[in-house]
Amino acid sequence: EPRRPVPLGRSRARSRGAAGAALLPSMLMFGVILASSGLLLMIERGILAQVGPPPLHPPAGLSRRDGRDSPAELELEVLRDTRNRTIRALCGQRSMPRSVWELPPGQRRTVLRHLLVSDKYRFLYCYVPKVACSNWKRILKVLDGALESVDVQGKMDHKSDLVFLGDMKPEEISYRLKHYYKFIFVRNPMERLLSAYRNKFGEIKEYQQKYGVEIVRRYRKNGGNSAGDDVSFSEFLQYLLDEDVERMNEHWMPIYNLCQPCAVRYDFIGSYERLHADANHVLEHIQSPSFVRFPERQAWYKPVTAETLHYYLCNAQRRLIKELLPKYILDFSLFAYPLPNITSEFCRQ
């Protein structure tokens, strides 16, 4: 068996004392691995699948404030510290952008198109499709007075009554990026991809016709008669593998490319796994009116469970998943998500 790699930076951390060493969890090693040629080899050998989520115990430097912190609170504290340190480690490299103005034009257009603005409450929200962005857009419309309540039924209009940072002048963009509260919500990358697959190819005719028909025609023999509503998950993964990341549809474009967390220094990174608690934290910080709350999940919504994700991943071609990981590796590493376990032993369970 290949030997598990020692997290980079351990020897330096020891020289700085136990506090520094304990705060270098396994996820932090991704920042350096990204720049090395060893990434693909590690994925092929299954080494990265062994990288687990941050530990439950508090590392040195994260003390219990009153001695009564629950395990869940400590786990959350470690997770946020892991994300912050990993982002600082990667974004601190010389080759990484320091602002949106250092991004290539195409990448700059993408992130500015996904930053929604509230001048009244002085915040910027980078919306990520399949991470509860529709509900956040409802909240923005309520805060702006364009919508009476977050519970108003009807199809969501993702363009009208919303202010996008990309529609502003350069000096207006720079001012808001510097002075406004900035936040983003993230999700396990494979779970997000599965959610997009089930929704777009199982329910949305427009996506079936625009993408599904082409995917089936490209990857299936005698698939010319398909209506695009029978795309397999493996066919979808192969399509993502062949796609240029910069040209991907926003529903499966990596979060890193959508929101550029090195060029935009977000004040808060919420997660889909703690959606309501993190959303309440943001609403409290921006001092929204008390009647504004994060909407409850719609009754018709079919969540992606751990069992569902397990089923789809274990029934897909392992080669496709392994080859696709490098495209989403920044989402896994920066936001501290473990890579999917697709070993034969795990899939047999």
The ranges assigned to domains in the chain are: 72-348
Greatest mean pLDDT among 3-17, 123-137, 332-346? 123-137
Nearest to 331 by CA among 235, 274, 243, 252: 252
Instruction: Average the pLDDT over 124-131 and give the result.
Output: 97
For the cut 60, the answer to whether the pLDDT of residue 244 exceeds it is: yes
CA separation for the pair 43, 325 (Å, rounded): 8
Ranges 15-19, 173-177, 207-211, 250-254: which has the least confidence: 15-19
Q: How confident is the model at residue 68 (pLDDT cuts 50, 70, 90)?
A: low
For the cut 90, the answer to whether the pLDDT of residue 265 exceeds it is: yes
E strand or H helix that includes residue 346? helix 344-348
For the cut 60, the answer to whether the pLDDT of residue 14 exceeds it is: no
pLDDT higher for 244 or 295? 244
- pLDDT per position as a tens digit, 134-162: 999 999 999 998 888 887 766 666 788 89
Query: Residue 111 has what pLDDT?
Result: 98
CA separation (Å) from 236 to 13, 34, 208, 215, 330? 42, 25, 12, 7, 20
For the cut 50, the answer to whether the pLDDT of residue 207 exceeds it is: yes
Burial zone of 212 (CB within 10 Å; 0-12 exposed, 13-18 middle, 19+ buried): buried
Q: How confident is the model at residue 22 (pLDDT cuts 50, 70, 90)?
A: very low
Instruction: Average the pLDDT over 117-128 and give the result.
Output: 98
CA separation for the pair 337, 79 (Å, rounded): 10
Tokens representing residue 243 in the block: 């796609």
Greatest mean pLDDT among 48-52, 60-64, 98-102? 98-102
Query: Residue 148 has what pLDDT?
Result: 85
In the DSSP assignment, the letter for residue 186 is E
Query: Residue 154 has what pLDDT?
Result: 65
Q: How confident is the model at residue 176 (pLDDT cuts 50, 70, 90)?
A: very high
E strand or H helix that includes residue 15? helix 10-15
Query: Residue 152 has what pLDDT?
Result: 74
Ranges 30-39, 88-97, 105-114, 195-204: which has the least confidence: 30-39
